[in-house]
Structure 1
Amino acid sequence: MYFHYQPIYINNRISYLEALLRFEDSSINIEEFVMSQKNKVDFDLIILSKVLSEIQTSKFDFFSINISLLSLESDIFTYKCIELINKNKKTIILELTEYDKSSNLEQIHKNISQIKEKTNCKFALDDFGKGCANIDLLINLPIDIVKIDRCITQRISDSFSGFNLLKNII
């Protein structure tokens, strides 16, 4: 297991690096592997800890890390996340993946707000539009960034409905 740091461009400049989990064995499906993790809190804390350790000496200041929405239901995750991020001098964006569904948006909102209040962390909604895009997350959570999935953006130049969909989302 290792991390590939993919540059994210905004206005033709690298804005930040996204830590993407990878395996030496390319036959392992990353999404399936992540979805198969029973304890999301422990898994996300391991990922967060490893990435934060690796980026200590990087010349880049901004990094994003994917976490499960379900981890943010946990006060333990929130406390440890704050502790880990505050030990690091980098600006972190936690990208919420929508693989897992939650009915506890009030608790997630509270924990996101607490992390934002006690760190310089930002939150992103990752791959919005892929699968079942959850409008509730946009409306009910203090999200700073919405990353629109490629399935929507690919069609805007040759599809009027695709363009309209993207325009209305924005």
Structure 2
Amino acid sequence: MAKTEALAFTAKLLRPAKPGEGSEWGFLVLPRAVSEKLPRRGRTSVEGALEGHAFQATLEPDGRLSHWLKVSKELQDAAGVSPGNMVEIQLVPAATEPEPPLPDDLRKALASSPAAKATWEDTTTIARLDWIHWVESAKQAKTRQRRVENACDMLAAGERRVCCFDSSGYYSKSLSAPKAEE
């Protein structure tokens, strides 16, 4: 991808209604007009600054043809912001998509199928990102397990891209930004 101009916008930093135990992260939703300038509707890695403090992150699709950004407590503290504040953001798509971390269950399944692992290693980083996203977007443990098994079967058969997966969540409504605390 060619060098892209920074995308600048202001957004409200939100607190998730269910952050998880011991978690103090926040999030913000990108304006749709900003999100449309990104290279893909699915997960997209970016480099950016929040109130001038640099970060690298992977934006998640919000299911409404935009993206959302998880903001760690460390970044909030460094920038001197907290949920409820309006924040200035600058983003640039990452020059190259970093290799996504492989979930343990998928790693183990690939290790037990040499044919699936060979296809996996021969795909692009973006394709691997979509496979991982498809597995991780399962809402139930048994659905996730079935997706891991199906991924290995499809990869072993030489399929390099996960079929029938809407990585934006828009058509399937499988993905969304967290619900904000009221």
TM-score interval, normalised by the smaller of the two chains: under 0.3
Give the alignment's TM-score, normalised by structure 2. 0.24
Give the alignment's TM-score, normalised by structure 1. 0.25
Structure with greater proportional helix content: 1
Bigger relative CO (Cα 8 Å, ≥ 6 apart): 2
From the CA coordinates, give the structure whose radius of gyration is larger: 2
